[in-house]
Amino acid sequence: MAPARVHWDLAVVGAGPAGAATALGALHADPDLRVVLLDRADFPRDKACGDGVAPHVLDLLAEVGVTGLVDDRVPVDRLRLGRGGLTVERRTARPAWVVPRRVLDARLVDAAVAAGARLLRHRVRDLRRYADAVVLDGEVSAAVVVGADGAHSAVRRALGRPRGPMALALRGYAPVAPGRRGAQVIEFGTRYQPSYAWSFDRGDGHANVGYGEFLHEGRPAPSRARLLERLEALLPGATEGGRHWMGHHLPLSTARRCPPSGRVLLVGDAAGMVNPLTGEGIHHAVATGIAAGRAAAAALRDGRPERAGERHARATRRILQAHLRHTALAARLARSARVVEAGLRAAAADQRVFDDLVELGLARGRLTPTVALGLGRALLVPTHPTGRPREPA
């Protein structure tokens, strides 16, 4: 039997960036909505992540009234990319920030609560759909529910949605190694494909350091010890003094998306919205979250909450579908060491190629004609086995 009444207009499962952004999107559209954020943890709490916050994320948050989120943090405007001795380092068109998730997520939750959301500690295990409501664990009912509960989403499982391709990463915090201060450093793997190690300077003497690689079906996942070994091999000294190591799965996006319809929506990692080229997920979490909040508010305003999923699917297709096609293609191309090295050479030769690749990896960028031309030229240059261009005879 369906519940006698709906207690909430919108219930959001998970209060990380995707969930907080959902609440913010809904309440910015309609401040009178009854919105609840459900999370199994108290805030502030840590979360495994690279901690990079692209400027595009701040643009999205400004649209829903959240500004000044990183004003006390140190911007980083240098990005270094390398593989097997090939290196390119340039200034990015706009700076990024490295903000520990313990700080970032708490600030986003505070912003959502200030906008009118209610935060409750509750771990959702069960979801039941009825004609006029969705009920969580027999306790919480809502007209619309949004699953923002991460890579191992209980909401996604309740919908019977399969899990897509995954990567595995390990993150820790360590003193910034010499030569890596003031920069975000990415070193692509030469043995395990695709993979990379990173060191992102927080601006306080420490860096977020880590290593991640694609998980191949039928191949056992590497242990923590192996991940640390591979990080140290790619970025010597990165693990020295490291603490707070945490592993996490990354549900990678693909060009094939079939988002749920009806009263239950999925956003962020729960929807498999992690960039397969870079592992970046905060931008897509915030983008899909705000879109879900707006879709829920519009559906509720029209008295058709069962149309929320359809509205959200249209919005995310408009915002991200072209980008997802391009990142899926780029991720396939990046399995080739020759293509990765050509990309590095092209980015070293042309600031425009570098900028376009940054956009592709951090936000909504595409494989532009500039990138295609740069790659084509770089691929035509004969190289040594090291990947460096051969000297003329």
| Residue pLDDT, tens place only, 51-91 | 999 999 999 999 999 999 999 999 999 999 999 999 999 99
Q: Report the pLDDT value the prediction gives residue 389, as an integer from 0 to 100.
A: 55
Omega cis (within 30) before 382: no
Place of tokens 């609840």: 36
For residue 220, the model assigns a pLDDT of 86
Per-residue pLDDT band for 3 (boundaries 50, 70, 90) equals: very low
Domains and CATH numbers, the chain: 8-74+99-163+254-321 (3.50.50.60), 166-251 (3.30.9.10), 327-380 (no CATH)
**pTM of full prediction above 0.85:** yes
Sign of CA dihedral 378, 381, 382, 387: negative
pLDDT at 391 over 50: no
Whether 392 has a pLDDT exceeding 60, the answer reads no
The model's pLDDT over 93-113, given as tens digits with 9 standing for 90+, comes to 999 999 999 999 999 999 999
Mean pLDDT of 196-212: 97
What is the average pLDDT across 368-392?
Answer: 76
Asked if 143 and 61 count as a contact pair (C-beta separation under 8 A), the reply is no
> What does the pLDDT look like over 233-268, one tens digit per residue?
999 999 999 999 999 999 999 988 788 889 999 999
Q: Indicate if the pLDDT at residue 362 is higher than 80.
A: yes
Which of residues 38 and 1 earns the better pLDDT score? Answer: 38
Query: Do residues 200 and 96 make contact, with C-beta atoms less than 8 angstroms apart?
Result: no
Check whether the bond before 251 is cis (ω within 30° of 0). no
In this predicted structure, what is the pLDDT of residue 1? 42
Please, what is the average pLDDT of the chain? 93
For residues 185 and 202, the answer to whether their CB atoms sit within 8 Å is: no
For 282-306, write each residue's pLDDT tens digit. 999 999 999 999 999 999 999 999 9
Task: Calculate the CA 353 to chain-centre distance.
Answer: 22
Quick one: what percent of the chain has pLDDT higher than 90?
Answer: 89
pLDDT in tens, 163-196: 889 999 999 999 999 899 999 999 999 888 789 9
Q: Above pLDDT 70, what percent of the chain?
A: 95
Of 178, 180, 170, 167, residue with least CA distance to 231: 170
Residue 159, pLDDT score: 94
Residue 208 has a pLDDT of 98
Is residue 103 classed exposed, middle or buried when 0-12, 13-18 and 19+ CB atoms within 10 A define those classes?
middle
- Taking the C-alpha atoms of residue 304 and residue 313, their distance in angstroms, rounded to an integer, is 15
